Amino acid sequence: MAAKKVKVWFVMIFWFVIAVFVGHEVYKLYDGYQIRRHETKLYGDYISDLQQKLPIPVALGVELVDARLIHNRVETQYMFDRYYIENSEKYTSYDDVVNYMTTNVCQNFSDAFKLGFDYEYSFVDEQHNLILNETITPERCQYLMM
């Protein structure tokens, strides 16, 4: 009789340990999902606000096609629509476009930089099959805005 009680207790403890382990793993998965979902919503809201603030130049067939906010090695990638500026003759070279973008990014993304974001964008010149990648960091903004 005593051996049977020990066996029953052993089986109950065994299944309890299994249930706790499985429950803990399920909770970790759910918690991770909630955190990722919350961060994605925060990034999405933030990017949506920034997209409305930031004018994007397109000059001489140069198109901004890809931009990322990079924060703690988590990348949020999004595609811009094509924006055209009326007086695009002001931007006659890649340097002009990069300077324009950098200045705008530094002015409009200051909050993002305070949070530790870097801003990366790529220009593609379809005529000449050229790609220009730029990464703007808070340090670069401080230097440029002096």
pLDDT of 105-124, one tens digit each?
666 666 666 666 666 655 55
Same domain, 9 and 74: no
User: What pLDDT, on the 0 to 100 scale, is given for residue 44?
Assistant: 55
Same domain, 8 and 32: yes
Q: pTM of the entire structure?
A: 0.31
Which domain covers residue 3, as residue numbers? 1-53
Same domain, 44 and 5: yes
Same domain, 33 and 62: no
Same domain, 59 and 105: yes
Interior angle at CA 131, CA 81 and CA 68, nearest 5:
50
Counted domains in the chain: 2
Q: How confident is the model at residue 23 (pLDDT cuts 50, 70, 90)?
A: confident
Same domain, 103 and 70: yes
Q: Is it the case that residue 84 has pLDDT exceeding 60?
A: no
Q: How confident is the model at residue 56 (pLDDT cuts 50, 70, 90)?
A: very low
The span from the CA of 17 to the CA of 21, in Å, is 6
Q: Which long-range contacts (CB under 8 A, 24 or more apart) does 96-101 make?
A: 96/59, 97/57, 97/59, 97/62, 97/123, 98/123, 98/132, 98/134, 100/57, 101/56, 101/57, 101/64, 101/134
Same domain, 48 and 85: no
Q: Is it the case that residue 63 has pLDDT exceeding 50?
A: no
